[in-house]
Structure formats: C-alpha cells, structure tokens
Chains A and B, each alone.
Chain A
Amino acid sequence: MANVKNKEKSPSIIGANLPRNDVYEKVTGTAVYTDDIQFGNKLLYARVKRSPYPHALVKKVDISKAKALPGVKAVITGADFPNKIGLYLKDKTILATDRVRFIGEGVAAVAAISNEIAMKALDLIDVEYEELEPVFDPVYGASKEAPLLHPNMAEYSYPNFIFPKPGTNIANHFKIRKGNLEEAWSKCKYIVERQFKIPHIQHVPIETHVAVAMMDEKGKITLWASSQSPFAQRALIAESLGISPTDLRVIAPFVGGGFGCKAGVTMEALPVALATKCKGWPVKFVLTREEEFYTNFVRQGLTSFLKVGCDEKGRIIALKNTMYWDGGGSTEYGVNVTRAGGYSSSGPYDIENVETDSICVYTNHPIGGAYRGFGMSELHTGLDQAIDELAAKAGIDKVEFLKMNVVKGGDKLDTGMIMHETGVKQTIENAAKAIDWNSPKTPSSPNKLRGRGIASMWKAPAMPPNAGSSAWVELAEDGHITVGLGGQEIGQGTFTVMAQMAAAALGVPYENVRIAGPVDTQYSPYEWQTVASRLTWSMGNAVRNAALDARKQILDVVAQAWHENAEDLDIVNGVVVSYKTENETSLKNIAIYGIPKENDQGWVGGPIIGRGNFMPTYVTGLDPETGQGTRSVVHYTTGTEALDIEIDKETGQITVLKAAASFDVGHAINPVLVQSQIEGGFIQGLSSAMFEEIKLKKGVTTNPSFVDYRIATAPDVNFKIETPYVEVPQDDGPWGARGVGEHPMVPTIAALGNAIYDAIGVRLPGPPYSAEKIYLAMLDAGLVK
C-alpha cells in the first residue's frame, strides 16, 4: 500500500518547477538543430538570385550560362513552379514569375556542389527587368492613385474570413461597427486624437532559417527544416508542387528561435523545388544573417489613426481606430495579422461604440508575416498611449482609469462576443504594486527626469476557427510512456509542459515520460502550427486526452484481470493500485504483453496506446460589414506591464529602474517556464521599443546586420523584472491553462511610451524611442537647452 499512501504525499506534477526535458542536450552541445545533421559528400548548396528592384516586371531570365557551370546540379526559375502558395491568401509563388514586388525577392535559384560555385552561378544568371512605380506607404498604397501590385488579385483563393478588394492594393479590409459612434462623440467630455507609426522590425532568431530537401528516385520528398509548422509546410508546399501531402515528409529538429518567422512557408519551399530537379541529392539552403533581415517575414509596419473619448466620469465610450498595415509584396499570412488587429481593436477595454477599419495594403517592402504577438504589439502601441493621454486629460490616475475601463466576464466585446472571466484587473494591480506606482517619483539626480508608465493588453490565439491538435501516448515495457505530438519545441518549453501533463493525467512520474521527437510528419500526430500561444491549451488538451485514454485502457485491463471495477483502481507513480482490495502492480507488469489469467488460461490486455485530439468547434463567422458575431475567438489572455524609468537630460538616454509584467495565465503548469517566457518576452518588447527598426529607404533595407540593427544585450537588462502572474482558469484549458508565449512583448512599447510621456510630457509618434529622438523632443519642448 506504499503507493496509495504516497499519493497524498507526492507533490503535484502540475504547477511544479520541473527541469526542462531538453536541457541536458542543450547545455552539452548534443541537441540536434537542422544545420547539425550530416548529409555526407553528396550535399548540395542552394543560393538565390534576388531582385535588386522593389517593383518591376521580369521580362527574361537566362539561366543557360549558370547551368553550364561545372558543379551546378540544378537551376530553377519562377516559370518552373507557377502554382500559388500561401497560408491564407494564396498570392505568392516559390520564385517570382512575371513580377518582383520587393528588393530581395527570389527570381531564380541554384543548387551546386559548393556554396562558392552556387554564388558564382548566380552571377551568370541574366535577368531583364522593366522597372515599375513602387509603393512604399500603406496609406498611399490604399488610395486609387497607387499603382497596382497584384492586378490579378481576383483570381487568388482565400478563406471566407478574409476580404480582399480586387482592383486595389487592399488585401484585406476588416471592419468593426458597434454602437453609434457619431452619437457617442457628443457624449464625450474628453477626446484624444493621435497618429502613430510603428516601423518594420525583424524577429532575429539566433539561428537563421535553414532547410534541407531531398527527393528519392520514386519521387518522395523529405524536408528537414528549422520549423514552427511542419504540417502546414507539408500541406502548402505539396499543394504548390502538385503532389500529395503525404509524399512530402517534413522532419523538424530543435528550433533555434522562431517568434513567428519560422511559421507558415517562407524559404523552405525553395530547397524542395531544387531537389525535384536533382533526385537523390540533398539540397541545403541556409539564410545568411543579411538575408534573414529582409528576404523572409518581417513584422509589418503600421500607420494608425486613433480617436478615443470618455465621459466626465472617465468611462471610455467611443473609439475610432483606423489602421493601415504595410503588408509588403505578399500578404499571404499577413492578411490574418490585420484581421486579428481588427477584431481585437478595442484592446481589453469595455467600449460601447467602436468603429474600426483594419486595412492590409500591398507595398513594395519585405513580406509581413507572423511575429510574436500577431498584430497586438502594433495595435496596443497606439491604443494604450492614446488611452494614457485620455486618462491624463480626464485628470484620473492611470491605474484607476484602466481598472475602471477594462473588460470583465460577461461584457459584450467589440465583436459582440461575450467575454469569459479574466484577471486583467488583477494584473493591473499587480504591475502597479510591483513598481510602487504611488511612491514619490524623485529623480536620482537633477540631470534626470523620472517617469512611470503602465499599459494593459489582450490577445487571442489568431488562427483558423478550427485549428486542431492530436497526440498519442504509448506504454513501453519498462512502464515508462512515450508521448507523440506535432507541436514544436522552439524554446518555450512545450515538450516539458506536455510531459508534465501526460505524467499527471496518466499517473506516472515526470521522469518516466519521453517525448517522441523530433517532430516528423511521417510518424507524429497532426498539429496545425506552433504559433498563437496555442500549444499549452490546444495540444495540452490533446495530450491530456491521449493520456487519459491510455489510462482508461490500462485500468480496464487490470480490472478485468483482478475481477474488480475500474472505478476502484488508480495509477499512482507508475503503479496500478486498488483502493478496494489493496492489490497493486507496476505498469511494467502489464505493458506490451498484458496480464496472464489464472491457471495459465490465456491473457488479457496487450500493447497500450492512447489517442487524443482537440479542436475548438465553437468559433463563428463575423459579419463582413460590422465584424459582429457570436464568438470571434477561442479566448483572450490578458495582462499589464509597468515601467519606472529615468531619462538623462543631457543625452536622452533611458535608464529602466524597475519593470513589472503580470499576465493571466489560467494555470501555470510550470511556473519557472511561465516566468521565463514573461521575462524574455518583456525584454524582446523593450528591445523593440528602444532600439529596433528595419530602416527602409526606397525599399532597401539599409541595416541588415547586428551592427546596424541593434537588439538588447546583457548589459541593457540591468534592472529587476517582476512577473507576478494571475490564475483565472480557462474553462476549456487543460487544468485551466491558457497560453502566454507572445503576450509579454505586446504592451511594452506602450508602457515605455507612457513612462516617457510621464517623464518629459511629450508623446512620441512611434518607436524606437532612441536617446536621440527623446533628446530632440526635450529640446523642442524647451526642457533642455
């Protein structure tokens, strides 16, 4: 009976700070990333011929000289692969066909026996272009005067929740019309109108994109890729090649940072396309750091026009939010970023009258795609700074103003959806308390100005309404379990969290759970994509269901063998116990071969494999003209960040004194992993707020290196970040959990902008809030001479 008693004593696996199950490999250098796989002497190297023009017709591509170069095994052009590819709006091809739409777009590609020969071959490719007038501004791009980037838009396919406008550059126009805005303005005592401009930024994973593809003699293809989306890549690349998805096997080793840029399909289709022209030869394509900056997904720029008003008591009652997204040359993924920006455009605030136009515009800039937060950082940067000013105008403390206006369970949201319970108010209190919001703001010297800022946020998983997850759980002969799953370990710790969930649901120690990795579409169960902060919730449900299914099978077998009822049995620490008869047996005694019947009269049981899946079935469509519907999203994760800063009057330099980030995570399955996500996300947000911008000049990315595109380094983080999280359970989350991967970088720019405003009384139109911009603003305002 030792185990039955231990059940009471043993600490819960859920909510425990268990060590990551990938950490030993990662600290010893044995964790395998895509570029670490050895392919032997037949490995070919891919390079891409890229457009030097932002917008041009491709008149002629001559590859004859490149093909003749010794060592070159394949040369392809857009004409070889004319089928469209794209996650939502299918507006892209693997290589440009008739037209290039941004500097760096591929027009041809080479596979050769060395990188040097591949580069040499690129120089031998002659491309004839006819330059066209480019579009570099989304507001202009949306106008009737702008030249069209996609004249054939009407022929593109897209799901029914995307609204492109053929004959314009508008790839999606999402609208919200809630209440009566005109009437509401007349009831407003205070109104703030502001324009913000948020620049393009880059994800900057330390591992650049890498993919290796090989086609065998029978025409089956294997793709090894640093990928957040092996299953989506299988589907989309197969579709564009006109082959069956299961004829393309995607193997996805550990990922050296994703943040959205390794979701969907970007460069991964290219080595596959080359591999089809040289069967039996593996083709490797690694992006250089320079290519990483602008040839793949960027976080698109945003120009937003905000008007927000409150009544005399400080209740926000009116919001007009017009957003022009700088979508880039293709918006196949970006259209859904702008949709998310649209349906969440009120932020976590209960506003009765809302009018939103979220407009995704084609421009001759790099392609916008998923970036941690999926539109929410961009949205909140303006919204929460406008609301900050509104609070100041109304003469109400910002913390009180937010608390008065945030949504609560039962509120009717901007889309008409009824809000679930949320701890957003608690996150405001936590963040304010952590930085001593009400303590005196004394600068440390007369040369400094001190300020505090706070901003709240919300974000829903942005995905198709029915994105699904699946999992299996298998019992091995040692009584340990193996979990099959299709979501990817990109650093967030999902393999650890899934092992905790499987262990807890089945009843085995955490150490006895192995994750069947790497994810391999040939063996692993289906998962939509590792995006949207959805795995803990969605894949967690699938894993939990699979473990419960295995558990039920085990208990049924044991109950049959012991002539007991399954309800009287339990699995504790890997041992099946009976509370009725006090029988017990280790799982290893029943795995694989089952249990012998008495007197050698045969067996019961057999190999145990549990299966589970999860798919939300309740999300509804929204009206294209009003954005109204029953259920726009699965749920919202909410949170708040606050900063206490000083600004040096002589340099404009910001010093962060203290920071706080509080999020409602539903239930922290592994608190250290939750806090690590929040700390890392906050610093990524702060880095974007202080330093980061892809400097585009006439379509040219002028700063594609770590020297010219600065990200936060260790000395920049010389202050304390507090992360007091909140746990209001998610009704359909495993153990009440919901995701928090992206959220920590969402409100950071706004929180910092508000702190700067508090310190110097100037509202800057957009990040990065560099020392130079702040100094010049102080000069303009007469604060310094």
Chain B
Amino acid sequence: MGFQRITLTVNDLVETVDVPTNMTLLQMLREKLSLTGTKNGCTAGECGACTVLMNGEPVNSCMVLAAECEGANITTVEGLAKGGQLSKVQQAIIKTGGVQCGFCTPGMLISATALLARNANPSESEIREALVGNLCRCTGYVRIVDAVKEAARM
C-alpha cells in the first residue's frame, strides 16, 4: 500500500495531506483533517450520511478515494456557516424542527445546499427526489423537507 501527497481545498482552506492510496475521502476528512461533522453510516454509498460537496456536486465521500481529490474543492457541514453566520438551510432546519438525533443532518444539509444551488425554487417533489439518497430514521423527513422549502423562501 502506497501513499500519495495531495493538495486540495476544504472549506476554503488549502490543505496538503499524505494519504494512503486506499483511503477514502470520508476517512481523510475525519481522520486526517479532524472534520468529524461528516458521518459514516454504511461505508457503501447507501445512506448519504457522508455526503459532501466535491466541486459543487454532492458525493458520498465514502465512495471517493482521497487520492482522486487532488485539486478538488470540498465543502463539508463545517464549511456551511460563514463568519459565524449559519447558512439559510441551517437556519431553516432549526426553525422547522427538522433535527432529531442529528446523525443524518450533515449529509441532509449538504444535499439540500446542492439542490438550492442548482434550483433556487424547487417543487416539493424535486426536494424529495434530491434527498432520496439521504436516509433518516427519526424525523420521517417531514420537517426536513419543510426546511428546504423554508430556505428557498429566505
């Protein structure tokens, strides 16, 4: 197993990291950069808890090798608030009560952020489809979907 040195941007900071070639982006974020806000729910790309933005697109970070991220621009849940100001989706999910255990929340927020970036005024079914890859066992999705609607209005 070899190592590779990569340089990438994570939450607006340029990072240079030595990563084993078999290390995933999720592992790198959590273990090398101490960004533990991104969660691991299945290690198989099925639950969406590890969703981050890679060059603006939502990806399951457990399915991306860190070594593939040379030059990439990554945004994790820790990068959503700017200068202590929560993003619209973060504010909205607090307002609607869409957080319970909080384990799916980081991935949900990222998927919702990606949706609103490409479609500022999504319909309810577009919201539901955008969140299909993010499993939640607590909320029944009701107030999470409400939060995305609310964020679109803000």
Contact = CB atoms under 8 A, between A and B. Distances in A.
Interface stretch (B2-10, B65-73, B141-149): B141-149
Interface string B12-32: 000000000000000000100
Interface string B126-154: 01110110111111111111000000000
Contacts of A51: none
A492 B145 CA distance: 19
Contacts, number: 166
B41 A207 contact: yes
B35 interface: yes
Interface residues of A, number: 57
Contacts of B135: 204, 206, 706, 711, 713
Contacts of A25: 102
Interface string B43-71: 11011010000000000000000000000
Where chain A touches its partner, the secondary structure class is loop
A446 interface: no
B99 interface: yes
Given A289-B41, A289-B43, A715-B132, A206 B78 contact: no
A707 B37 CA distance: 25
Contacts of A259: 137
A97 B72 CA distance: 51
A64 interface: no
A718 B78 contact: no
Contact of A26 (B102, B134, B145): B102
A712 interface: yes
B145 A493 contact: no
B74 interface: no
Interface stretch (A274-282, A674-682, A727-735): A674-682
A715 B128 contact: yes
Contact of B137 (A27, A205, A289, A717): A205
Nearest to B46: A706
Given A27-B90, A289-B42, A714-B131, A205 B141 contact: no
Contact of B99 (A27, A255, A715): A27
Contacts of B41: 206-208, 256, 289
A706 B101 contact: no
A288 interface: yes
Contacts of B46: 289, 705-707
A20 B30 CA distance: 26
B37 A705 contact: no
B94 A23 contact: yes
A679 B146 CA distance: 13
Contact of A714 (B30, B44, B106, B144): B144
A715 B76 CA distance: 24
Interface in A248-301: 254-259, 288-289
A680 B140 contact: yes
A676 B137 contact: no
Nearest to A721: B142
A257 B140 contact: no
A206 B47 contact: yes
Interface string B86-102: 10001001100101111
Interface string A1-41: 00000000000000001011011111111111101101000
Contact of A38 (B34, B78, B127): B34
Contacts of B129: 714-715
B103 A27 contact: no
Contact of A721 (B30, B36, B136, B140): B140
Given A254-B102, A714-B145, A28 B137 contact: no
A497 interface: no
A308 interface: no
Contact of B39 (A38, A206, A492): A206
5 contacts: A27-B94, A33-B103, A203-B137, A713-B141, A714-B132
Interface of A: 17, 19-20, 22-33, 35-36, 38, 203-208, 254-259, 288-289, 490-493, 672-673, 675-676, 679-684, 705-707, 711-715, 717-718, 721
